[in-house]
Structure 1
Amino acid sequence: MQTVTPPENDELFLSTVASPLLPDQPVDRILRPLARFLHIEAAGGFVLVACTLVALIAANSPLAETYLAFWQTDVVLGFGSYVFHHSLHHVINDGLMAIFFFVIGLEVKREIVHGSLSDWKRASLPIAAALGGMVVPAMVYLSLQLGEPGMNGWGIPMATDIAFVIGCLALLGSRVPHSLRVLLLSLAIVDDIGAILVIAVGYTDAINYEFIILAAGYIGLVQLLSRIGVRRFPPYIALGALAWLMLHESGIHATLIGVILGLLTPARAVLVPERFREYLNRKKEDFDNTRWSQQRHRTEAVHEVQRLTRELVSPLEYLEITLHPWTAYLIMPLFALANAGVAIEMSNLNDSVAIAVVLGLVVGKPLGIVCFSWLAIRTGWAKLPDGIGWPILISGSCLAGIGFTMALFIDGLAFGSDGLATAKIGVLVGSAISGLIGMALLMWLLPKADVETR
């Protein structure tokens, strides 16, 4: 998942909790420490780890049956003759995770338009590395499961969980080269695109084309509203919800609607700062104490300022920044709580599916990243970024073997809504081993790299 670059000045960040223009409130004393924690880049990864541990402990405790049954609680919504009747687990995986995929779509669009994927010279290495990091793990998995009942899980070891990777890099502090962070983030974005294609192509069975046509129609209306200049969010939310429902009924995984809508979100602002400054200069007399108190339409004036202020940034940037905390600190932790709970048994660790997942993550992921990167550099399509040598790239590729959110998600698609316990064990063990190896190598190599680059 994406990270939001923290401001240089702590006071600027804390102003999002309590503006210096507003009187200090008792609740601000509670929110400021929380804001400082959420300000840390790795906080999302820490929360995800904590929720994973809670799920594992609960699933291996005397409360296991109650805990697992809770996620099967019925959720029923009806409108006329239509009834939406699914479990809480399904609502999280198919409903809330659509918002997570929407943020992924926003992130991909941003990187393609403004970021590291906008220039082929910069994008070629992470694209090659990501392709290797998807193809080789799938091949390693299939080499062990071809023709076996677990063959359908080939997509599980393909994706990187960037929240955990960023958490590991944050623990290493300023020793980590900026170019390595950018490379791993770009690799994870391309990984996400690959995982989305895998879900759309590899894990879709029976398709109802009537519902697909209806979903396409609602997506077309979203694009039409954007083209004619509709700036309010409610119409888009309503049409997006209808498109999600149609895709949900079509047989294609409904979370893909989030990616599509994210890619359609405009990436450019409507209002430039100079025009807004001119507006404020014209309106500043309206905010004189005496004149303001005598105005009859103050609410309209406030709404106008709010609307114009929002237009200073693109819808893409606004939505990405707004939704990031919700996905990082609510949706992904809920997903972990609902999906990471698995009984740990020695027989599960020895299962062939678990071994295939572990080898795919621990061996296949770094092997694919390094080999495809070498080919891209050898052919002249790409070059190593400044500050990164082959030892650092190999170490970073080991970290990329941390696959959690998307791996568990694909496990549910491959082996039923609850997933396969042995595959989950493989994801958890493989991710832990990859993280430990990557961290150990980077801790050993980075001090030497710092000396060399001075």
Structure 2
Amino acid sequence: MTERSVVPALPAGLRAFLVTATNSTSVLLAATVAGLLWANLPLGDSYEHFWETELAVSLGERGFSLTLREWVNDGLMTLFFFVIGLEISQQIRVGQLRDRRLVAVPVVAAAGGIAAPALIYTAINAGGPGAAGWGIPVASDTAFVLGLLAVIGARCPEPLRLFVLTLTVVDDILAILIVAVFYTEDLSPWALLAVAVLVGLIVALRWLQIWRAPAYVALGLGVWAAMLESGVHPTAAGVLLGMLVTVYAPSEHKLLTASEIVHALSRDPSPELERLATRSVQRTVSINERLQLRLLPWTSYVIVPVFAFANAGVVLNAETLGEAATSPIAIGVAAGLLLGKFGGIAIGTFIPLRLGWGGLPGNLVWGQVLGGAAVSGIGFTVALFITGLAFADEPAMQSQAKIGILAGSLLAAVMGWLIFRLAWDRGGVCAPPGAPGDDGAFEPGPLPPVTARDHVRGPDDAPVALVEYGDFECPYCGRAVDTIRRLQEQYGDRLRYVFRHFPLREVHPHAVSAAVVSEAAADRGRFWEMHDLLFANQLALTDADLTSYAERLGVEAWADLARHRERVNTDREAGERSGASGTPTFFVNGTLHEGPHDQAGLAAAIDQALEEARGAP
């Protein structure tokens, strides 16, 4: 039902990644706090003793032994990096990374966000014992970054989440290359040869179209074991295997074939047709996306939290905090995350935009981009991972680096929140590309009078009418809801509030559908209930969400669709003729309000209108 927009619709795999990574943030945070608490309890020594416990696997005379922490870091985390490999492969082949203009800016921004933290850390630690830790502050933590953007809520529109998510995917690719190239020692040529042979067998199975899961699992385990012996960190095997998994966009041929077989099954059920229908339906979606859907909950809710629990434990007392306060390692990590990420991403965004290499999705402004750059300084999972590689035999250095990670990430989160609160909030209007400016080329006409077809709160004989042209997906309109409520409480029967549709389909992909559903609710006399429900759920306005809200209110969401869409379009066209060029746009007694959209700014305009009404003959 959603109209096409300049912001691409997120594919199913990307939506699953976004939702799962966002929702798992609280679990990851809880695991981090649990690790810190255990390490700082009176029996805190038991934390290290437990995770350093040896666990061996042997077959006859052959086998190997790892500590519990190594089983987590080298074993379980391979599955985490496997999922990253799946996502990278999908994005490169059928996703956002195929579009050069859309990907140019986040790619350069991610490169800047990698280079600047490394340079800042190196400048602080050059020639010192902690120089090897330059890779610690380079990677953002996707789960924490997306989680904070979700907490920020309506201030983070979908185009910004798309930009940040694309940036973090590229960030992951570069961070994995850094681990593979710079944190690898004592390479074994024979083990690497075994890796190459096993990968070749996987490619051969794909080429022969042999799709037997046990064969791929056995070969994958072989690649992991050979990588473990090679000297290259075994998590690289996860990324490599993930990128080898077949991925393709749904084809019309596969969809039609599946549809025909399902219809045949419905007419003449049989075990043969049931098996054929199951296979044909599965093949409409690539194994890459199906694996992401199955594995994401395990990696996001189990593996990464366990990793945090096993690695985040650091003693925080006067002695360790005092050492960290003067430690070049802790200072370098914190400065890299806080300043390096922010500056690197900001400069890396500015350069390709200035040179015309690409553009930003939707209609993002610099306040939004800078807020996204700041929160990208939250580095945790990969930062802790590289800490263990850089200072493998130096627990004191690991402790200082972990304190730097915690401090830098916390400060980056605070800075991002402040930017969203201050820098972006100034202006307070969403506008489509090419909106009319103040160059004198556009002369607005009169505001259409309020009629019975309008959505009105307040008495008809109120001396002041406040008309808003709004968009259910606009974050500034969402903030205006409370402002309008307080104004109605302040002025009572002297104020009549009118809401008209102005969906910015160029910026907000779900705005038209949300407006249409609100009109369906209006047919049942429940517009304002739907109005409040939509603004309370601005981050969940997909067609499925809108259908759910309509069912909750006893409304048929998509009934009389053409009439409702025409009504919404009529509102917007009338608003444009009257001078509305973005959302929210307010008119007070027919006069365009050009002041602030907060309670004080609107109240001043209403007071002036009341005085004019009292002085009118």
TM-score by length of 2: 0.64
Q: Secondary structure at the match of 1:401?
A: coil
Asked whether the equivalents of residues 4 and 41 of structure 1 are also in contact (C-alpha less than 8 Å), the reply is: no
Change (3 A) 1:307 1:69: farther
The residue matched to 1:343 in structure 2 has which SS?
Answer: coil
Deviations 1:124-143 (A, max 9, x none): 00001000000010000000
CA distance in 2, matches of 1:284, 1:410: 54
Compare the two structures and name the one with the higher helix fraction.
1
Residue 374 (structure 1) aligned with residue 354 (structure 2): no
Taking the aligned partners of 1:259 and 1:339, their CA distance within structure 2 comes to 21
Q: Please give the secondary structure, in 2, of the residue aligned with 1:451.
A: coil
Q: Which residue of 1 aligns with 2:398?
A: 420
1:196 corresponds to 2:183 = no
Query: Match for 1:321: what amino acid?
Result: L
CA drift at 1:200: 0.9
The reply on whether 1:131 has 2:111 as its aligned counterpart is yes
Among 399, 420, 423, the alignment partner of 1:442 is: 420
Identity of aligned residues (%): 38
What is the CA–CA distance in structure 2 between the aligned matches of 1:222 and 1:348, rounded to whole Å?
Answer: 50
Q: For residues 430 and 153 of structure 1, what CA distance do their matches in structure 2 show?
A: 15
Q: Which range moves more in the overlay, 397-406 or 378-387?
A: 378-387
The CA deviation at 1:386 is 3.4
Unaligned runs of 5+ in 2: 1-11, 432-582, 584-617
Aligned to 1:395: 371
Partner of 1:154: 134
Q: Which residue of 1 aligns with 2:439?
A: none
Cα distance in 2 for partners of 1:378, 1:444 equals 25
Which of 309, 312, 330 is equivalent to 2:284?
312
* Residues 1:277 and 2:259 are matched in the alignment: yes
Contact kept in structure 1, 2:371 and 2:419, CA below 8 Å: yes
Give deviations 1:368-410, integer Å, cap 9, x for gaps. Answer: 1111222222222133443322222122111010000000001
CA distance 1:286–1:348, shift in 2 (3 Å): farther
The structure that has the greater radius of gyration is 2
Q: Report 1:19-418 matches (<5 A).
A: 42-268=22-248, 272-287=254-269, 303-344=275-316, 345-350=320-325, 351-416=327-392
Corresponding residue for 2:473? Answer: none
**CA-CA distance at 1:174 after TM superposition:** 2.6
Counterpart-to-counterpart distance in 2, 1:452 and 1:356: 38
Aligned partner letter, 2:377? G
In structure 2, what is the Cα distance between the partners aligned to 1:132 and 1:90?
31
Q: Is the 8 A contact 2:261 2:277 kept in 1?
A: no
Q: What is the identity, as a one-letter code, of the residue corresponding to 2:355?
A: T
Deviation of 1:303 (Å): 4.9
> What's the CA shift for 1:110?
1.1
Contact map agreement 2:16 2:293 (CA 8 A) in 1? no
**After alignment, is 224-233 or 152-161 more displaced?**
224-233
Native 8 Å contact 1:177 1:387 kept in 2? no
Distance 2:158 2:259 in 1: 35
Question: Which residue of the partner structure matches residue 591 of structure 2?
Answer: none
Q: Is this contact kept in 1: 2:257–2:280, CA < 8 A?
A: no
1:222–1:41 distance in 2 versus 1, CA, 3 Å: closer
SS of equivalent residue, structure 2 residue 64: strand
2:149 touches 2:156 (CA, 8 Å); kept in 1?
Answer: yes
Query: CA separation in 1, counterparts of 2:64 and 2:280?
Result: 39
Distance 1:91 1:302, change over 3 A: farther
Contact 1:176-1:446 within 8 A present in 2 as well: no
- Local SS of the residue matching 2:15: coil
Closer, same or farther: CA 245–336 of 1 in aligned 2, 3 Å: same
1:273 Cα offset (Å): 1.8
Does the CA-based 8 Å contact 1:348-1:425 persist in structure 2?
no
Tell me: higher relative CO, structure 1 or 2? Use CA pairs within 8 A at least 6 residues apart: 1
The one-letter amino acid of 2:171's match is D
Give the unaligned 5+ runs of structure 1.
8-37, 293-297
Q: In 2, distance between residues paired with 1:394 and 1:162?
A: 17
Deviations along 1:84-133, whole A, 9 cap, x unmatched? Answer: 21111001100111111111111111111122211110110000100000
* TM-fit CA distance, 1:304: 4.7
Q: Is the Cα contact below 8 Å between 2:21 and 2:142 reproduced in 1?
A: no
Helix, strand or coil: the match of 1:85?
Answer: strand
State the alpha-carbon separation in 1 of the partners of residues 240 and 209 from structure 2: 19
Q: Is the 1:43–1:167 contact (alpha carbons within 8 Å) kept by the matching residues of 2?
A: yes
Is 1:451–2:429 an aligned residue pair? yes
State the alpha-carbon separation in 1 of the partners of residues 427 and 177 from structure 2.
37
Provide the alpha-carbon RMSD of the alignment: 2.2
1:209 positional shift: 0.4
Q: Say which is worse superposed, 300-309 or 83-92, in terms of deviation.
A: 300-309
Deviation at 1:452, TM superposition (A): 4.1
- Per-residue deviation at 1:232? 2.5
Determine if contact 1:125/1:383 at 8 Å carries over to the other structure: yes
